[in-house]
Amino acid sequence: MPPPFSDPQSFSGRTGHRFNHIIKSLPDAPSQGLTMEELLLKLRTTGYRGGIEGLRVDLQELIRRGEVGQSEQEGKNVYWCLPRGRLELRKRSALIRLHNMELGEDEIRKLEEIVEKHESVDQA
């Protein structure tokens, strides 16, 4: 049986899946932001098995990456998804699907060319 999501050993194992689950559950508008407790309840109705401490760590990382916004409303911290979060959700989802596909040599080479192209642009 795999360790629970809040276990630090499992943090890096399925981070992309958890981050996507969190991003999908957050509203886009700060005025509709969810508290951590509200978010955890919403996540649990969709199959999320992590605890409050694991969610706190994940939210801190998503905030650091610029994917989730945080502010205080009525004395409580609320969270919502930023545009970068939606973009990263799409990217992670595509990479997860790609990882699970059977690819041939030609397809892998095309992917490597995409990476090389972006690396050369980033270095310029």
Q: What is the CATH number of the domain that holds 53?
A: 1.10.10.10
| Predicted confidence (pLDDT) per residue in 52-84, tens digit | 999 999 999 999 999 999 999 999 999 999 999
Please report which confidence band the pLDDT of residue 12 belongs to, taking 50, 70 and 90 as the band edges. Answer: very low
Please report which confidence band the pLDDT of residue 4 belongs to, taking 50, 70 and 90 as the band edges. Answer: very low
Residue span of the structural domain in which 89 resides = 8-123
Please report which confidence band the pLDDT of residue 85 belongs to, taking 50, 70 and 90 as the band edges. Answer: very high
Quick check: is 2 in a domain?
no
Structure tokens at 112: 């490597």
Helical residues (DSSP H) of the chain, grouped into ranges = 8-11, 15-25, 36-45, 52-64, 83-99, 105-123
Give 15: exposed, middle or buried? Use CB within 10 Å, 0-12, 13-18, 19+. Answer: middle
pLDDT score, position 119: 85
Query: By mean pLDDT, which of 15-19, 91-95, 103-107 is the weakest?
Result: 15-19
With a cut of 90, say whether residue 17 has pLDDT above it.
no
Please report which confidence band the pLDDT of residue 15 belongs to, taking 50, 70 and 90 as the band edges. Answer: confident
Structural domain tally of the chain?
A: 1
The Cα 121–Cα 53 span in angstroms is: 39
pLDDT score, position 49: 82
pLDDT score, position 98: 87
Quick check: is 3 in a domain?
no
